[in-house]
Structure 1
Amino acid sequence: MSSPRVARRLIITRGIVQGVGFRPFVFRLATRCFLKGYVQNDTLGVSIDIEGEREHLDRFINSMLDSPPPQALIEELHWQDLPPLGYTTFEIKNSLPEADSTHKEALVAPDIATCEECLKEFFDPSDRRYLYPFINCSHCGPRYTIARDIPYDRVNTTMDAFIMCQDCSGEYHDPQDRRFHAQPNACPRCGPRLRLLDCRGNELPGDVLEQAVSLLKGGRILAIKGIGGYHLAVDATQSRVVSELRNRKRRWEKPFALMARDLEVARGVCHVGPQGDQLLLSAKRPIVLLEKKPGAKIAEGVAPGCKELGIMLPYTPLHHYLLRHAGDLLVMTSGNVTDEPIVFEDPEALARLKDVADYFLVSNRPIFTRCDDSVVRVNPEFGMRNSECGISHSAPRTPHSAILIRRARGYAPYPLRLASPFGKNVLACGAMLKNTFCIGKKHHAFLSPHIGDLENLETLEAFQQGIERFKKMLYLEPDIVSYDMHPDYLSTQYALGLEDGISKIPVQHHHAHVVSCMVENGLEGEVIGVAFDGLGYGEDGHLWGGEFLLASPQGYRRMGHLEYVPMPGGQRAIKEPWRMALSYLYYLFGKDFLETDIEFVRRLDKGKWPTVKEMMDKKTNSPLTSSMGRLFDGVSALLGIRGVITYEGQAAIELESASGGTDEGTDTPYHFELKEREGKILIGWHGLFEGILQDLLLGTPTPKVSSRFHHAVALMTGEVCKRIRGESGQKRVVLSGGVFQNVLLLRLCEGILGREGFDVYIHHKVPTNDGGLSLGQAVIADRQYLPQLKGAK
């Protein structure tokens, strides 16, 4: 008979508890607490069957919750008391077989940057893994990109082909070793290897690492296989090779990402600051957008005309070696041809990049799932409204936070946990630009890594492949598919082409933006949603984008919007912002604007003017838009900042940059006219452009004009929200859409709204651009489907 002091508990943990050293941690903790039993992975998470004195069990559970492994996140922990069985040891058991695959809910950890312990071994000549580029342990290395299935065991990863040698196996089974149950564990004797190939696929003899360094120093372009795909790398200080990379990749002006040897090097070229330090050094290792220092010693072609640089620190052993020996700064741009997804399979890399790269640094460790680098922007003025793992919006304000621009490596596939579970399995297909998809299952929304712009067959195939792999890992088929209302989006066409048994629900673009921000902030009920972006298909058939909604997941009312204006040339007006400037001026002043003595008019191609005028007059290929993004484009072109773009958002980005981030403009900001029409607030911009033209005629400096424009938009946002509050009583405001990547505008809007007594919510877990749209689509479709289902009964 067992002692009354002895108890047994079956403990169930859910969250990021696989692939983060959680079972070895449990083993060591149980041993220290004098407990017996076992721990094992299953398709739901980690189960612990454990017994011992009650006091020791309580201490075990408290320690597990208080001090889990650095990359673990325990979302749920509950236990059941059972009769003691008299266990005599504690062990890690093999994973529980799939008794019921429909209950696959274990979360795969994101990929983790190389830890300090592994780096010390990597550079230690006496260590058996000296300069082994695949060194890892239970605290670092690839996770998501090598996982084929769950539970996260070696047999379910791309490492299953590599049989551990005796030494590695000894580490794997030693409870005191850092590699105890580290699934990707390997060494030079038994693990993956590097090869160096020329652009025809021929292997080069000699030391691979030394040759790679020599080639980079010699001004060659290397395609380097990483954790989630290929990078194209060159020495960032050599202007010739940077220019050559641009020509070969056909990426004419969009900034390249940089990788710096260490934080000191990053500080030498950028203003980093405390939040920048934290982001650069985090295990996620995103690309961080930071202000460039004057005189930064990099080639001008890295980020031509930009005041910011995208910079990251090494996150694989190979990166650390190259940055230590080949130069302090390397361009590390995604391994693709412009507009295509990142390449991640070796044959595909050689086929698609043979005309871009001179040499290929490849390995025989397969990547199962592609995953690009994440991109964040430091937001020095605003804090997260939520804790990283909670959903309460009453969490204390953190003074420095970041805005996610692209959510991928290091963040994906970690899901968002919802307070209210999905009633059905949902697939949300996202938008066209910056596409992601989202799968909703029970309490979790699984947002895919960044896929790219769905504008070609290659990206569509990556989108479809990603969906199939998520479905396999989560073992589900969707009951509902949601999609954007725009009929020409490939994501919409994909959704509509699915089998007839799936319920298909269209979701308005800006409604999805607002709800995505509501979900990550844990908001229920109605909010005032401010959705500013490039464009989204509206219910009236026009292209929306400067929207004020009264919204909830169940529906929305359009309360106000920017006045419509033609987009002469349709999509060409996006790539040629001068068309938008011309449209605003012609709409307001007729052809008399041609008599205005400003630089924009003087430089206008008078040969194109009659054609554009005819388009607008006859309403041919000139769709109407209420887009805030197009307004930013038009002002940028009018100020002579950017009349033609080479990458998405360039005109608006440079308009923000032109302001210098200053607060000038509060003295005499421009004004919008707020009018009532058909029960909505119609936001006119006549006064705005009159003010801008007056400043241009007076020779007012461009930074001051840009700053005044930003202030005018923020003040207008506050005024419209006050009117909506007066009608609805609602004081919670959600800011979403790609325009809010603009930190100056975001800072101004939150400041003005806060002073007016509003509670303001912004994105911090998913991108505010279209990369976060699928989250909103998933939740809206689920909430709207359930009432339909009840009504059908």
Structure 2
Amino acid sequence: MSGHVRKEVRVEGVVQGVGFRPFVHGLANRFGLGGRVGNDAAGVFVEVEGASARVDDFLVALREQAPPLAGIERLVVTVAAPRGVREFVIARSDGSGRPDTLVPADSATCADCLRELFDPADRRYRYAFLNCTNCGPRFTIVTGVPYDRAATTMAGFAMCVDCAAEYRDPADRRFHAQPVCCPRCGPRLSLRTADGTAVPGDVVAEAAELVAAGAVLAVKGLGGYHLAADATSDTATAALRARKHREDKPFAVLVSTVEQAAELVRLDDVGAGLLTGTRRPIVLLDRLPGAAVAAAVAPGADRLGILLPYTPLHHLLSRACAKPLVLTSGNVSDEPIAYRDEDAMARLSGIADAFLTHDRPIRTRTDDSVVTVSLGRPSLVRRSRGYVPEPVSLAKGVPVPVLGCGAELKNTFCLAKGRHAFVSHHIGDLENYETLRSFTEGIDHFGRLFDITPAIVAHDLHPEYLSTKYALERTGVALVGVQHHHAHIAACLADNGVAGPVLGVAFDGLGYGTDGTIWGGEFLVADLAGFHRAAYLEPVRMPGGTAAIRQPWRMAASYVDVVFDGDVPMGLGVRERHAKDWDPVVAMARGAVNAPRTSSAGRLFDAVSALLGVRDLANYEGQAAIELQRCAEVTERGAYRARIEGADPLVVRGTDLVREAVEDLRRGIAAGVIAARFHNGLAAVVAEVCGRLRERTGLAEVALSGGVFQNDLLLRRTVDLLSRTGFDVLTHSRVPTNDGGVSLGQVAVAGCS
């Protein structure tokens, strides 16, 4: 057979659960080729034979025309002896061998399924669980690999004759779509009151009527329960806020269409693309004046978190309600989201008036992802549903499997082998048993899914972090302690696929330093292997320790006392507002009694926020800084000056910024102008310090990381100044700049150890 060849192809990447086998089957038939395609523990294998030119064309099309949810990382092609096979078949999945494949993320309902959902002639009309190979649940229902129905929470639902025919037909859109089902054989919705009583009738319509009447509705989504309420109703949203014990933090808003979103927020192409894409995160966008949502949705906020429906149930409910809905995590503040039905009924019955639920189990609790648009591109605030468990590819793979245990707040963990780093879904703050259980169970689940048994376990240096304690209790592994801010910079390097060295600026709230003090305003000369602390913000005391985080006015008291050496100017509003407690708090700082020293940039923001009367008491993390940014007059270009003293390390006198803010305040300058000058001054001193360090090191690349750089005004000002002075600036895009990215940084560092 002249010109007849046979080739064996190993396809690696996100290629299971995305319609890849039927795609390959159709492609081979199109080119008139024989062979087979199948799933195994390592991905997809293809054996193809026929005319040499057609096989070559097939291989080109295999990569270029892959299904929309597929992500091919590598094709490994070997030549084999022809067998004369003319028919192309889909082989039975091979579950033997060690798992080495990728699991796709959950994906929003595709256009084809959406048409069926609202087509009265379709057998899946208004069916809340329709899906196909191009959309639907994946990670939240998968229990193992290879990704077949038996390894999902759909295993308990036997397919009816019609669904089985679709599932087995290579020409059908639902061929081997593992969650395939219909009203005859799949999961079912139910509506129950808070006491568990079933509500009869059309449950979506009944639920919409309850919402219209002002009720709070618990809704079982892909990765857990949401709490929904009428976003246009002051009464309903205020009731939800009170019951959930969430005083100020904004709620997300679900809208039916991108056109409805455009009535509430400013939309550009990037924002619209995020809202309508397959991942469907919550997108933080600038609020339009007069946006028609209740005041309690986002008190005083200049941005709204908007999302579009991403499951058939969300589409049905949103359309039935015909108005924007609050859609927030199903929990009491500071607790993890409820995802097991009995737990949800127990924990949410005091919040929700009714439960719109179903009988498909959720395997992995997964919150909604949150994204903002910064510097003209998406920037992750919380990386979870729709993104996880797709790996972050490491430019230089780890030599042995590594676990990064992450931080205490906004925790994620990261398991890595080879060039793949699997950063987990958002776990949350490791402050209670349920969250810690999610952390430990998640590590075990990822380990099984991706066949990773870590030989190295990386952890934060803080001895009291529960993630650190978990690491220290592991046996038979090498332990690597990674300084918190080094992990931030390493995460930024890994995010950008570079190894360094760079000048790293890590600004955040708190992080345990190598000297045993609390860091948070750090300038590092760093690569993945190590770092040198080249500069930092001048440390001040945190009177009351963690109480100073909840009460930013304490930081104002500490800074003002240092700035004016105890001779506090008269008429300072923050002192007058806290006159009874001011002197004891200052005495606490001076005496170093329960008042640790910190170089934290976050605490500096807190101090200025309280000085300006923006926020004295914080009801959620970062509130004082968020509201200070919101207050800033963006057209103001004045900037406060801060001295840079010392040699190695340099010390930045953040107290100078506070001094100038106080002096402007006493002169009657508007708070918005002062806030802007503070932001501008901090950006300017970052650029100046980096300039001095460039002279010393020759490094002209700067990595910015840490939760403070979620402040878009500070980030834009800093990047602009650095770029104008000849620096290349690295920022985050694949993982959050906050502590949600720390686990990736830990893995990157440990992999170089």
Normalised-by-shorter TM-score class: over 0.9
Separation in 2, partners of 1:173, 1:126: 23
- Superposed, 1:193-592 pairs within 5 Å as 193-379=188-374, 382=375, 400-499=376-475, 501-592=476-567
Q: How far did 1:733 drift?
A: 0.6
* Residue 748 (structure 2) pairs with residue 779 (structure 1): yes
Residue 175 of structure 2 is aligned to residue 180 of structure 1: yes
SS in 2 for 1:467: helix
1:601 aligns with 2:570: no
Query: Which AA in structure 2 matches 1:776?
Result: G
One of 707, 721, 734 as aligned partner of 1:765: 734
Letter in 1 for 2:172: D
Q: Give the superposition deviation at 1:419.
A: 2.3
Residue 26 of structure 2 is matched in structure 1 by: 28
2-side partners of 1:527 and 1:376: how far apart?
A: 26
Equivalent residue, structure 2, for 1:166:
161
2:130 alignment partner in structure 1: 135
Query: Do structure 1's residue 731 and structure 2's residue 707 form an aligned pair?
Result: no
> 1:421, CA displacement in angstroms?
1.6
In 2, distance between residues paired with 1:597 and 1:213? 53
CA contact (8 A) 2:204 2:320 kept: no
| Matches of 1:618 and 1:695, distance apart in 2 | 30
Q: Give the Cα–Cα distance (whole angstroms) in 2 for the partners of residues 590 and 420 of structure 1.
A: 51
The answer for the alignment partner of 1:395 in structure 2 is: none
Whether the aligned pair in 1 keeps the contact of 2:383 and 2:735 (CA below 8 Å) is: yes
Please tell me the residue identity of whatever aligns with 2:604: L
* Cα separation, 2, equivalents of 1:67 and 1:369: 31
Deviation at 1:538, TM superposition (A): 0.2
**Is 1:622 matched with 2:602?**
no
Once residues 768 and 707 of structure 1 are traced to their aligned partners in structure 2, the CA distance between those partners, rounded to angstroms, is 22
In structure 1, the residue matched to 2:641 is 671
In the TM superposition, residue 308 of structure 1 has moved relative to its aligned partner by: 0.7
> What is the SS of the residue equivalent to 2:238?
helix
Give CA-to-partner distance per residue, 1:93-135, whole Å, 9 cap, x none. Answer: 111131x32xx12100000000111111110111100000001
C-alpha displacement of 1:491: 0.6
Answer yes or no: is the 8 Å Cα contact 1:111–1:143 preserved in 2.
yes
SS for the counterpart of 1:269 is coil
Matched residue of 1:62: which SS?
A: helix
SS in 2 for 1:590: coil
1:340-366 C-alpha deviation (Å, 9 max, x unpaired): 111111111111111111111111111
Conservation of the 8 A alpha-carbon contact between 1:235 and 1:327 = no
- 2:565 counterpart SS class: helix
The answer to whether the 8 Å contact 1:671/1:685 transfers is no
Of 633, 641, 651 in structure 1, the residue corresponding to residue 614 of structure 2 is 641
Q: Counterpart of 1:71 in structure 2: which amino acid? A: L
- Calculate the aligned-residue CA RMSD, in Å: 1.1
Partner residue in 1 for 2:65:
67
Quick one: distance in 2 between partners of 1:107 and 1:33?
A: 28
Q: Which amino acid aligns with 1:129?
A: R
**What is residue 613 of structure 1 aligned with on the other side?**
586
- Structure 1: where are the runs of 5+ without partners? 383-399, 785-793
Deviations 1:189-247 (A, max 9, x none): 11111111121223222221221111111111111111111100111111111111111
The aligned residue for residue 684 of structure 2 is: 715
TM-score by length of 2: 0.99
Q: Partner residue of 1:84?
A: 82
Match of 1:739, SS state, is helix
- In the alignment, structure 2 segments of 5+ residues that lack a partner are none
SS at match of 1:682: strand
State the AA in 1 paired with 2:589: M
**Preserved CA contact (<8 Å) 1:145 1:370:** yes
Q: For residue 687 of structure 1, what is the aligned residue in structure 2? A: 656
Aligned to 2:53: 55
How big is each residue's C-alpha offset from its partner over 1:588-607, in whole Å with a ceiling of 9 and x where there is no partner?
112211x333322332x221
1:657 counterpart residue number:
630
Give me the whole-angstrom Cα distance separating, in 2, the residues matched to 1:493 and 1:445.
22
Offset of 1:335 from its aligned partner?
A: 0.7
Alpha-carbon distance in 2 for matches of 1:681, 1:71: 49
**Between 66-75 and 110-119, the greater mean CA deviation after superposition:** 66-75
Residues 569-600 of structure 1, C-alpha deviations (whole Å, 9 max, x = no match): 0000001000001110001112211x333322
The DSSP-based 3-state class of the residue aligned with 1:271 is coil
1:109-148 paired onto structure 2 within 5 Å: 109-148=104-143
**Aligned mates of 1:611, 1:703 — CA distance in 2:** 30
Distance in 1 separating the partners of 2:408 and 2:341: 27
Distance 1:480 1:546 in 2: 29
The whole-number CA distance in structure 2 between the counterparts of 1:216 and 1:685 is 49
CA distance in 1, matches of 2:221, 2:701: 43
Say which SS state the counterpart of residue 170 (structure 2) adopts.
Answer: coil
Using the alignment, how far apart are the partners of 1:617 and 1:748 within structure 2?
A: 34
CA distance in 1: counterparts of 2:148 and 2:705, whole angstroms: 39
Deviations 1:459-478 (A, max 9, x none): 11111111111111122321
Deviation at 1:432, TM superposition (A): 0.7
Q: TM-score, normalised by structure 1?
A: 0.94
Secondary structure (helix, strand or coil) at the match of 2:606 reads helix
SS at 2:751 equivalent: helix
1:44 deviates by 1.2
Residues of 2 paired with 1:189 and 1:602: CA distance?
A: 68
Matched residue type, 1:669 = A
| Cα distance in structure 2, aligned partners of 1:491 and 1:299 | 39
| Counterpart-to-counterpart distance in 2, 1:311 and 1:413 | 23
Query: Aligned partners of 1:122 and 1:97: how far apart in 2?
Result: 34
Distance in structure 1 (CA, Å) of the matches to 2:150 and 2:64:
31
Report percent identity of matched pairs.
49
1:235/1:330 contact within 8 Å kept: yes
Residues 172, 185 of structure 1: 8 Å contact kept = yes
Residues 531-569 of structure 1, C-alpha deviations (whole Å, 9 max, x = no match): 000010001111000000000111100000000100000
- One-letter code aligned to 2:450: L
Q: Tell me, what secondary structure is at the counterpart of 1:519?
A: helix
Distance 1:337 1:149 in 2: 31
Shift of 1:418: 1.4
Question: Which residue of 11, 14, 18 corresponds with 1:13?
Answer: 11
Deviation at 1:646, TM superposition (A): 0.3
Cα pair 1:673 1:686 within 8 Å, conserved: no
For residues 586 and 703 of structure 2, the distance between their equivalents in structure 1, rounded to whole angstroms, comes to 38
Q: CA deviation at 1:265?
A: 0.9
Instruction: Determine helix, strand or coil for the equivalent of 2:371.
Output: strand
Q: Give the superposition deviation at 1:179.
A: 0.9
Preserved contact between residue 282 and residue 306 of structure 2 (Cα < 8 Å): yes
Letter in 2 for 1:81: V
Q: Take 1:658 and 1:92, find their aligned partners in 2: how far apart are those partners?
A: 61
Comparing 507-516 with 607-616, which one deviates more in the overlay? 607-616
